Structure 1
Amino acid sequence: MKRISLICFILFFSFNVMYSQTFDQTQISKPIELLPDLRLNSVKEKGEVANSTLPIAISIASFLYLFNPVVLLENDKIGGGLTKEFSLGFGYFGQERISLEYSYIFVQDQKSRLFAGYTHDILLKTGIKPSNTMQGTSAISLGTGYFTNFAHPGVYGDVSYGYSIRNDKILFYPSFKVRYTYVFEGSDIFDFSAGIVIGLANPWMDLKIRRKNQE
């Protein structure tokens, strides 16, 4: 009888130990099994954040490509609007530019503004040469010309700083511009704008860059 009781006690003890080990392993393995899910969730969250910010970045870039925001001070009043500048350049880098800019102001009586003039780009990177491929360099631009709001004419002077991306035919110029306009028989204007200038260069000239490079 004692032997049977001892055998039963040993079996009960062994079963209890095995059950406790199985229970512990199950509990420990659960967090480990959840780790891949947590990692996948973190990757998904990062992807969702990137996907949500990408359309915003594209929208801002497209807006600056099509329209440049402008803030102006005129007759002791602050106004805002949209402006866009196109230019036609000459010279090896198209750095001598004839520019035409149209502005639409939201809160003024004379909403439409037109600027036409000459701009000279000072390329800050040394050693670059005319090329058929796009090249980038920081640049400072100085401009002057004629102004009209279709009621009073005037003259203006401006200075810009930005990053010029160009070859011998095309110009993309993200820049910041500060301009002062003297209006005949009207209030002078001080304005600040930011955006992308679009231009062409040497449309009727063949600089023969490839031919010179082959020689």
Structure 2
Amino acid sequence: MTTPLSLFVTGTDTEIGKTLVSAALLRGFTRAGLRAAGMKPIAAGAFEVSGVWHNEDADLLDAASSVVLPPMLRTPYLLKAPAAPHIVAALENVTLEIAHIVDCHVQALELADIVVVEGVGGFRVPLTDVHDTADLALALNLPVVLVVGMRLGCISHALLTAEAIAARGLQLAGWVANRVDPDMSFADENIAAIRDRLKRQYDAPLLGIVPHLTPASADAAADCLDTTQLLQTLRAAQR
């Protein structure tokens, strides 16, 4: 029996395309014949439909998945207000417990061939007074895919995030350049600078460049990503 695969998707900031890239990876894995499921363990910002609370990012992951997880596994912590998780959790009297998320992830792996876990915000977003998203990634012990929002300042953001990932002993399995700013000057040069440094320092390949998509499309973004190379890396990490 093949051991299920999983990865953790983080980003250089919030609103830089983590959900789009996560959904695109799910579409790519599904095309490869895998039962692919998405997790958004902590989501801040919810709306109610017919008495059921939803989160836009979580719904997009469901739409891109070939295996839709039960909502309590897919998003163990669904917070109402769209703000920093530790702030909203305190307001809503919710304790964000990393151990519970890890348990939900174990259950998710029983239902799919591969689970894409999307983080919340950037890599160091606080979850409690003492823990942050980096601690969650470490507890899950998953290879990390970094989404870099291509805009002014992205080189430093990318390198600092990669450094933080490596400092926790986690593998940077690759990164994706997402063209969030279609008018960015010297975008190709910025991509090249990040590509060369992340490959040299962390052996992390550029998995693809996602153009500015209007409207955003998981399938169109999937066409831009090398999921075959990523799968090879994930399988090698299991050995």
TM-score by length of 1: 0.24
* More helix as a share of residues: 2
Greater relative contact order structure (CA < 8 Å, 6+ sep) = 2
* More strand as a share of residues: 1
Over alpha carbons, which structure has the higher Rg?
Answer: 1
